[in-house]
Amino acid sequence: MIAKTLENELNLKNWQVKKVINLIDAGNTIPFIARYRKDVTGSLNDTTLRKFDERLKYLRNLEDKKEKIIKRIDELGKLDDELKNKILNAKTQVELEDLYRPYKSKKQTRATKARENGLEPLAVIILRQDVKESVKKIAKNYVNENVKTPEDAIKGAQDIIAEEISDNSDFRKKIRKNTFFTGQIETKAKDKDSSSEYETYYNYSENIKRMPPHRILAINRAENEGIIKGKIVCDSDEVIKYLNRHVLKNTSDIPEKIEYNPYTTPIIKEAVEDAYKRLIAPSIEREIRNYLTEKAEEKSIEVFAKNLNQLLMESPLVGKTILGWDPAFRTGCKLAIIDDTGKVLDTALIYPTAPQNKVKESIETVRELIRKYDINVIAIGNGTASRESEEIVSQIIKDTNVEYIIINEAGASVYSASKLADEEFPDFSEGERSAVSIARRLQDPLAELVKIDPKSIGVGQYQHDMNQKQLSESLTGVVEKVVNEVGVDLNTASVSLLNYISGIGNTTAKNIITYREENGSFKNRRELLNVKKLGKKTFEQCAGFVKIDNPDYPLDNTTIHPESYDATLKLLEKLNYSVDDIGKDNLKLDNLDLDEISKELDIGSETLKDIIKELKKPGRDPRSDMPKPILRKNVLSIEDLEIGMIMQGTVRNIVDFGAFVDIGVHQDGLVHISQLVADRFVKHPLDIVSVGDIVDVKVLDVDLKRNRINLTMII
């Protein structure tokens, strides 16, 4: 059943599902399966495989829960074939919970108290709806020391009836669906005269099924901050009519005539209304709000993940000496110079901003550093005092070949205060560590950003309001995907980078570093087997993702897996080449009969294609195709902007309603989703742009008071 569900949900063939389940159960990682088992899976990509893995875990948990529920109900002696089949066919946790609800151990409720007082038989009599006398008269038989009057007995029986109606899985399913498709969410301000960023929701209503994710999360946040109160409303009269139709029995002997028992009907109608308003409606509202939040979070996490993927894949700035500038006011600006390998050459502290205002001394200090280390680029963090620092930097680099760029420093302070930073730079202050991080973010974004908790990188929306476990798992998966897609140099990779490589955890990553320190650089991949606690299975999972610059064996600087080395050598031999020809212009690998070679070498066609691709460009960094960062010479402020001005900028963040673009004025401008393209409807900004894209934009509006810039890509 699990295999069939995965087959339908992910549009896969039955054989693919079985193969992937076997690969996952055998302990293979998603990056390994995605790259090195294409012939087994039918070339399923990383994204599909991660969805597969996530759904497989969910469905297996669901099956486990079904078994436990069936066992529990059976122990109560209340399991029949119909109920068992309903449980076995449940598709979701919600559906399963609905079925189990009547049999769960409940906390003390009005209904449980009524049962304890012996009123369940009275409730059964009322629900049977065949009495021929006043229920009040019958209820006298149930008066006891805990039930003082017949009226009390009837009320207790109604509580039992209300709970039974509330526990009916068919009723809940129907009402939940009806509420979702016809209901609205309404929000009101707790203080309508107060001012806040949530004024849109002070008196607001919208159909539930049409609400976009960012609006749901905004309402949740406003509620959590105590600014508004939200509720779900629907036509309760229609719901109560529906319940009455299904609970009340027609007592007429004439088929065409509808007649209800006059003694029990008023009592049951009261119980029905109570069941809905007191028990069902609040519960359904919580479920729908939770559902909306979960879906909104999933969408936001998806957007965050895609943004993070693009950010990590930004092109490194190679071959440059960079000065990292961590701006500040009172404590001064911290500087760090790194060479083209990321090694820290020097640090400095200057006070060009208020309150010290030592501008002249600061300019002289930085110009001396530029001369001494032949600095090419200054990377300025975008935090406090960034604008003031940029103006000073523009003076410093005037009449020089040095350029500058503003770097998003989100998470730099988190890193600089971390244990990892303390181990990396034990003698540096947190400000100096921050400056190094800013410089390295420009030089190699991936290598530096993997040191920071992905949630702190700042390319999402409402990330602090959502399920942190789910967010963390998703973002960690993105980092893992990118690190393995890019690969790492085994002799220069940090623990942080190695930690994300397929099959390598934190302990093994540290053991690799220890081995490297004790034995010198790795000469070949097979040396990994000498690393403590790195066995054959781990080697299989990681070997293709780690490369060695100038290795003993040329194939060790490619993404070709060691398990395919023999096939690669046979291919080269067949074409009259050797491993020494790898990467050379004389290596001609086009127009080959892949089907014939695949059979001859006894290797999958997809694996063969990847081998040929790597032989053409060994060790190629996939980030090299990404847009290069925009370096600047002159300062531009928001006051310099004019409506109609056309500029070039970098996409810094993408949210559901648009994209934020850095045009070099410290305040990113918003390109609303409606301004991305002119000729078609855009479902989501990610369909048009990605983080890191270099785009042409036109200024639509500048709001100096609120420091907002509206841009358009329709030029």
Buried b (16+ CB within 10 A) or exposed e, 642-669: eeeeebebbbbbbbbebbbbbbbbbbbb
- Give the mean pLDDT of 326-330: 95
CA-CA distances (angstroms) from residue 184 to 181, 190, 210, 348, 480? 9, 19, 9, 59, 40
* Residues of each domain in the chain carrying CATH 3.30.420.140: 322-443
- Tokens representing residue 175 in the block: 């009402």
Which amino acid, 529?
L
- Give the mean pLDDT of 421-430: 94
- Give the mean pLDDT of 87-115: 92
CB atoms within 10 A of CB 100: 21
Buried b (16+ CB within 10 A) or exposed e, 104-128: eeeeeebbeebbebebbebbebbbe
How far is C-alpha 26 from the geometric centre of its chain's CA atoms? 26
Please give the Cα distance from 490 to 543 (Å, whole number): 10
- 224 pLDDT more than 80: yes
pLDDT computed for residue 193 by the predictor: 86
Please give the Cα distance from 56 to 508 (Å, whole number): 28
* Residues of each domain in the chain carrying CATH 1.10.3500.10: 111-183+234-304
Please say whether the structural domain 2-103 has been given the CATH code 1.20.1250.20: no
How far is C-alpha 128 from the geometric centre of its chain's CA atoms? 52
Instruction: Report whether 271 contacts 161 (CB < 8 A).
Output: yes
φ/ψ of 714, rounded to 5, equals -90, 95
Instruction: Report whether 440 contacts 320 (CB < 8 A).
Output: no
pLDDT computed for residue 591 by the predictor: 84
Tell me which H or E stretch contains 287: helix 281-312
Residue 584 vs residue 432, higher pLDDT: 432
**For the residues of 377-403, what is the DSSP string, one character each?**
EEEEESSTTHHHHHHHHHHHTTTSS-E
Instruction: Report whether 236 contacts 277 (CB < 8 A).
Output: yes
Give me the percent of the chain exceeding a pLDDT of 70. 99
Give me the percent of the chain exceeding a pLDDT of 90. 75
* Predicted confidence (pLDDT) per residue in 333-392, tens digit: 999 999 999 999 999 999 999 999 999 999 999 999 999 999 999 999 988 898 899 999
- Give the mean pLDDT of 304-316: 90
Under CATH, domain 111-183+234-304 is a member of which superfamily? Tex N-terminal region-like (1.10.3500.10)
Instruction: Report whether 644 contacts 336 (CB < 8 A).
Output: no
pLDDT computed for residue 541 by the predictor: 98
| pLDDT mean across residues, the chain | 92
CA angle 363, 368, 374 (to 5 degrees): 120
DSSP code, position 628: P
Please give the Cα distance from 373 to 653 (Å, whole number): 34
Within 8 A by CB and 6+ apart from 3, the residues are 14, 17, 18, 21
**For the residues of 202-240, what is the DSSP string, one character each?**
TEEEEEGGG--HHHHHHHHHHHHTTSEEEEEE--HHHHH
- Residue whose C-alpha is closest to residue 338's, from 373, 371, 367: 373
DSSP code, position 697: E
* Predicted confidence (pLDDT) per residue in 524-567, tens digit: 999 999 999 999 999 999 999 999 988 999 999 999 999 999 99
Residue 692 vs residue 519, higher pLDDT: 519
CB-based burial label for 294 (10 Å; 0-12, 13-18, 19+): middle
- Give the mean pLDDT of 624-652: 87
pLDDT computed for residue 373 by the predictor: 97
Please give the Cα distance from 110 to 420 (Å, whole number): 56
- Residue whose C-alpha is closest to residue 388's, from 337, 351, 336, 346: 351
- 402 pLDDT more than 80: yes
Fold of 322-443: Nucleotidyltransferase; domain 5 (3.30.420)
* Predicted confidence (pLDDT) per residue in 442-466, tens digit: 999 999 999 988 888 877 666 777 7
Which amino acid, 554?
P
Classify 321 as helix, strand or coil: coil
pLDDT computed for residue 639 by the predictor: 87
pLDDT computed for residue 640 by the predictor: 84
CATH class of 638-712: mainly beta
* Residues of each domain in the chain carrying CATH 2.40.50.140: 638-712
Give the predicted TM-score (pTM) of the model: 0.84
Classify 520 as helix, strand or coil: coil
Q: Which residues pair with 349 in a beta bridge?
A: 334
- Tokens representing residue 206 in the block: 């919208």
- 635 pLDDT more than 90: no
Q: Which residue has the tokens 């060479």?
A: 339
Instruction: Report whether 362 contacts 352 (CB < 8 A).
Output: yes
Q: Which residue has the tokens 């979070």?
A: 297
Q: Long-range contact list for 12-15, CB < 8 A, 24+ apart?
A: 12/44, 12/52, 13/42
- Tokens representing residue 62 in the block: 């669901």
Instruction: Report whether 419 contacts 444 (CB < 8 A).
Output: no
- Give the mean pLDDT of 120-149: 94
pLDDT computed for residue 692 by the predictor: 87
pLDDT computed for residue 460 by the predictor: 67
Instruction: Report whether 327 contacts 389 (CB < 8 A).
Output: yes
Q: Which residue has the tokens 């850095």?
A: 662
Going by pLDDT thresholds of 50, 70 and 90, the confidence category of residue 252 is confident
Which amino acid, 344?
V
* Residues of each domain in the chain carrying CATH 1.10.10.650: 2-103
Cis previous bond, 31, omega within 30: no
Highest mean pLDDT among 113-127, 295-309, 411-425, 621-635: 113-127
- 609 pLDDT more than 80: yes
How far is C-alpha 188 from the geometric centre of its chain's CA atoms? 30
Residue 6 vs residue 471, higher pLDDT: 6
